[in-house]
Amino acid sequence: MLPKAFAFDVFGTVVDWRGGIARESAPFLAAIGRAEIDGHAFADAWRARYQPAMAAVREGRRDWVILDLLHREMLEETLRRSGIDPARLGETALAEWTRAWHRLAPWPDAVAGLARLRARFPVVTLSNGNVALQVNLARHAGLTWDAICGAELARAYKPDPQAYLATAAALGLAPGQLCLVAAHHSDLAAARACGLLTAYVDRPQEYGGRPAPDAHLAQDWDWRADDFTGLADRLGCRADL
Amino acid sequence: MLPKAFAFDVFGTVVDWRGGIARESAPFLAAIGRAEIDGHAFADAWRARYQPAMAAVREGRRDWVILDLLHREMLEETLRRSGIDPARLGETALAEWTRAWHRLAPWPDAVAGLARLRARFPVVTLSNGNVALQVNLARHAGLTWDAICGAELARAYKPDPQAYLATAAALGLAPGQLCLVAAHHSDLAAARACGLLTAYVDRPQEYGGRPAPDAHLAQDWDWRADDFTGLADRLGCRADL
């Protein structure tokens, strides 16, 4: 059965966070005399703090805070671990560097494929990114969403079931009427456990060609495509848009 | 100073609720043998229950519920007051009639004017309508928003300050960086009291040409225009889009 709407993971599925953070971080690293740090390695180190940062909220050890704030704290910790005192950079530079997450580029097929899907189905974000981050990112990347749903609406970080269930509820849908689109088996597995439909899109360059950390969680998802254009084809969305 | 983003009231400001509810209600009234009830009078009677229904939530006499549910209850009460037992209609008809609020038409300038504004500024809803209602309405009317904010995000109905403040916060903005666009002086007055900028757009046909109930609250707003095209002109948004 076709879903009534599609909800998209964003980081890694729609936009290339690793390439974008590497590119955006290079001038900041150069400005503090640390140009020898590889941008991609810095992006990996920054992102490595993502799950632990959210775990504190998911496990109730910390009240709800938005991802922009976690990204800032994760940046400061990443700098410290590289022997850089964040205070050296000043508030403006730290805030601007954190906003690198608002300026990521979409995968080459994302804008056109999403437009084809949106012509037939409502499309929303189901990301851990907060509303301001998703609004800025979408405008930067040229993406159009029908709504920003996910973590901030739910006040819960994926894979907390509440993130998926609150998104379906906000759209007035039963979980089985909503399909998550993601490049991550772990995300899709959590969505399926909540009753959502699932569509896997392969993003082999998310980790620069290295295997994804959740490759062992691969399952037979409801749909599978190499990119958004392929997903639009499989769902019968017109190509002449 | 120009705002960083615009937030729009929707019912009456972007879409013609009265004309739409009159048009959508006519076949339902005919189907129950009450074709003699005027569609516009029925729309007015349905909408007359709007403020009392939200007041119960605003005043804490009732837990948060979405506007779709209030619209349904308001419909049933409006039918009862017309001597019609809602149970006669059955669940499917009542649900479908309630969804008339998802199928309203935009004012003639709304789609083009909003597109011009959106080319330069983020544009979001700041309506009492819930997410599903706004998503369906936008897709029906051909409107594009950067995010659905307002009551459901805030879990508070305008003019509760929380509805305005939570929308600014979700966008990462101070209240003075966000501008409410509305055809209602009462809404703009509440937004101004929260520190938002204000833009009034005249919608003389909202009540079929009769004076608006809040005409006495008129003030010197930050911007004023006859329609969205005029607002886009005043804000220097390009016309060749």
- Three state DSSP letters for B159-172: CCHHHHHHHHHHCC
In whole angstroms, what is the distance from residue B178 CA to residue B9 CA?
Answer: 13
CB-CB neighbors (< 8 A) of A145 in chain B: 146-147
Which of A36, A37, A45 is CA-nearest to residue A18?
Answer: A45
The mean predicted confidence, pLDDT, of chain B is 96
User: Do B116 and B202 share a domain, yes or no?
Assistant: yes
CB-CB neighbors (< 8 A) of A133 in chain B: 172
Q: Which residue does chain A place closest to B123, by CA atoms?
A: A135
Which of A175, A174, A176, A172 is CA-nearest to residue A146?
Answer: A172
**Residue that terminates a domain, selected from A76, A102, A128:** A102
CATH code at position B204? 3.40.50.1000
Which of B122, B130, B152 is nearest residue A135 as measured by Cβ atoms? B122
**Count of domains in chain A?**
2
User: Do A110 and A86 share a domain, yes or no?
Assistant: no
With respect to residue B241, please indicate whether it lies within any of the assigned structural domains: no
CB-CB neighbors (< 8 A) of B98 in chain A: none
User: Do A80 and A136 share a domain, yes or no?
Assistant: no
CA distance A19 to chain B (A): 25
User: Do A66 and A115 share a domain, yes or no?
Assistant: no
- Which 3 state secondary structure label does DSSP give B18? helix
**Residue that terminates a domain, selected from A55, A80, A102:** A102
CA distance B123 to chain A (A): 10
In this predicted structure, what is the pLDDT of residue A239?
A: 80
User: Do B44 and B121 share a domain, yes or no?
Assistant: no
Q: ipTM, 2 decimals?
A: 0.96
User: Do B78 and B158 share a domain, yes or no?
Assistant: no
A118-169 pLDDT, tens digit per residue, is 999 999 999 999 999 999 999 999 999 999 999 999 999 999 999 999 999 9
User: Do A123 and A81 share a domain, yes or no?
Assistant: no
Residue A68, chain B, CB below 8 Å: the answer is: yes
User: Do B42 and B157 share a domain, yes or no?
Assistant: no
Per-residue pLDDT of chain A (241 residues; tens, 9 = 90+): 899 999 999 999 999 999 999 999 999 999 999 999 999 999 999 999 999 999 999 999 999 999 999 999 999 999 999 999 999 999 999 999 999 999 999 999 999 999 999 999 999 999 999 999 999 999 999 999 999 999 999 999 999 999 999 999 999 999 999 999 999 999 999 999 999 999 999 999 999 989 888 989 999 999 999 999 999 999 999 787 5
With respect to residue B88, please indicate whether it lies within any of the assigned structural domains: yes
User: Do A175 and A134 share a domain, yes or no?
Assistant: yes
Q: Which domain holds residue B40?
A: 17-102
With respect to residue A158, please indicate whether it lies within any of the assigned structural domains: yes
- Number of A/B CB contacts below 8 angstroms equals 59
Which of A133, A153, A172 is nearest residue B153 as measured by Cβ atoms? A153
CB-CB neighbors (< 8 A) of A170 in chain B: 130-132, 152
With respect to residue B177, please indicate whether it lies within any of the assigned structural domains: yes
**Residue that terminates a domain, selected from A67, A84, A102:** A102
Identify whether the C-beta of residue A191 lies closer than 8 Å to the C-beta of residue A177: no
In this predicted structure, what is the pLDDT of residue B241?
A: 58
In sequence order, what DSSP letters do the residues of B98-122 get, joined into one string? HGGGGSPPBPTTHHHHHHHHHHHS-
B171-229 pLDDT, tens digit per residue, is 999 999 999 999 999 999 999 999 999 999 999 999 998 988 898 999 999 999 999 99
CATH code at position B95? 1.10.150.240
Q: Which residue does chain B place closest to A121, by CA atoms?
A: B139
Chain A contact probe: residue of B130, B131, B140, B145 with most A CBs at under 10 A: B131
Sorting pLDDT into bands at 50, 70 and 90, what band is B239? confident
Note the pTM of the prediction, 2 decimals.
Answer: 0.97
Which of B122, B135, B170 is nearest residue A146 as measured by Cβ atoms? B135
Percent of chain B with pLDDT over 90: 95
CA distance B101 to chain A (A): 14
Q: How far is CA A211 from CA A184, A204, A215, in A?
A: 11, 8, 7
User: Do A168 and A191 share a domain, yes or no?
Assistant: yes
User: Do A199 and A126 share a domain, yes or no?
Assistant: yes
User: Do A43 and A11 share a domain, yes or no?
Assistant: no
Q: Which residue does chain A place closest to B132, by CA atoms?
A: A171
A69-84 pLDDT, tens digit per residue, is 999 999 999 999 999 9
Residues 71-90 of A with CB under 8 A from B: none
CA distance A103 to chain B (A): 15
Residue A229 burial (CB count, 10 A):
19
**Do the chains contact at B138 and A132, CB–CB below 8 Å?**
no
